[in-house]
Amino acid sequence: MIEEVGKKMIPLVYDQVNGWGKDDEFFLALLKKINVKTIADLGCGTGRLTTHFAKADYQITAIDPNEEAIEYAKSKEYPGEVRWIIGDSTNLQTNAFEAIIMTANVTQVFLTEESWENVVADAYRALKPGGHFIFDTRNPLAKAWEQWEKDTVPGFATDLVNGEPLEIWTQYEGLVDDVFTFYETVKKARTGEVVIHEKMQLIFRTQETIYESLKKADFSQIQVYGDWEFKQANSQTKSFIFHGIK
């Protein structure tokens, strides 16, 4: 299942506030390193990374439950074909992919252990023997939310349809039982009119918990990279990149 992904983003402003970074470079480098052709971009959102996968000549199936995000994604230009699916991990074809990738901390939107274990099981089922499951997540020991809560100024974006300047305000509710809750509000900068108001929730699972969930699903050769480098993660790592093989 991946139905909770729809709650993690606001397509109207997502691409404008999430620029190209070290994480994107790492995912492209890792895919090149494992030498695969057919990939599923699970929780693809607005296709921000899907476009780069397409340029790298992968055969891509891109899946997200957020219909608005998929519409944004489809409006971009892609070399070659991308197969778009409005859906979740249950829509992954069995034994069909050499790699399944989840980026931008999509892992953290699966708030229950059942929903997360279902995603892992779906990924295993959909991979060919020897296939790769790759995803990132934040280390709870780094307490990223403490830095988030210090940021009280709005972000800025533009309504690409009418050129209207927008402000993005975030209010924080805090961490309870490993789940961090916050609210994002997009307003028209000139009038203060609220365009979108969304509740967001992210779960912070430990490295050990995620590792065990992959082992339980029969993934092997599980590698955990740290902070967008090809080195082993440790307790000081801010971001984990998991790589399991079927």
Q: Distance of CA 166 to CAs 48, 101, 171, 187, 195, Å? A: 20, 31, 17, 6, 9
**Mean pLDDT value across residues 214-240:** 97
Name the percent of the chain lying above pLDDT 70.
96
The pLDDT assigned to 5 comes to 35
Question: Are 98 and 213 contained in the same domain?
Answer: yes
Alpha helices (runs of H) in the chain, residue ranges in sequence order? 11-17, 22-34, 50-55, 67-74, 113-126, 144-150, 207-216
Average pLDDT of the residues of the chain: 92
Q: % helix / strand / coil in the chain, to the nearest 5?
A: 35, 35, 30
Question: Are 79 and 171 contained in the same domain?
Answer: no
Residue range(s) defining the domain that contains residue 83: 3-139+205-245
Residue 8 pLDDT grade (very low, low, confident, very high; cuts 50, 70, 90): low
The region that residue 212 occupies, defined by phi over 0 for left and psi between -120 and 50 for alpha, beta otherwise, is alpha
Q: How far apart are CA 67 and CA 81, in angstroms?
A: 19
**Mean pLDDT value across residues 114-135:** 98
C-beta neighbour count of 21 within 10 angstroms:
9
The pLDDT assigned to 41 comes to 97
Residue 93 pLDDT greater than 80, yes or no:
yes
Tens of pLDDT, residues 13-36: 776 777 778 999 999 999 999 999
The pLDDT assigned to 127 comes to 98
Residue 3 pLDDT greater than 60, yes or no:
no
Question: Are 233 and 189 contained in the same domain?
Answer: no
CA proximity to 88, closest of 39, 122, 138 = 122
Question: Are 239 and 133 contained in the same domain?
Answer: yes
CATH code, domain with 230: 3.40.50.150
The pLDDT assigned to 9 comes to 72
Q: How far apart are CA 89 and CA 2, in angstroms?
A: 5
Question: Are 92 and 214 contained in the same domain?
Answer: yes
What strands lie across the sheet with 82-86, from one edge to the other? 82-86, 59-64, 38-42, 97-102, 127-138, 239-245, 220-226, 229-232
Q: How far apart are CA 195 and CA 177, in angstroms?
A: 31
Q: Are 231 and 139 in contact (CB under 8 A)?
A: no
Question: Are 31 and 80 contained in the same domain?
Answer: yes
Question: Are 99 and 191 contained in the same domain?
Answer: no
**Mean pLDDT value across residues 52-56:** 92
Q: How far apart are CA 172 and CA 24, in angstroms?
A: 27
Question: Are 76 and 127 contained in the same domain?
Answer: yes
Question: Are 115 and 27 contained in the same domain?
Answer: yes
Residue 74 pLDDT greater than 70, yes or no:
yes
The pLDDT assigned to 20 comes to 74
Question: Are 17 and 98 contained in the same domain?
Answer: yes
Domain count, the chain: 2
User: Sign of the C-alpha dihedral, residues 3, 200, 43, 46?
Assistant: positive
**Mean pLDDT value across residues 168-183:** 94
Residue 101 pLDDT greater than 60, yes or no:
yes
Question: Are 114 and 195 contained in the same domain?
Answer: no
Question: Are 177 and 217 contained in the same domain?
Answer: no
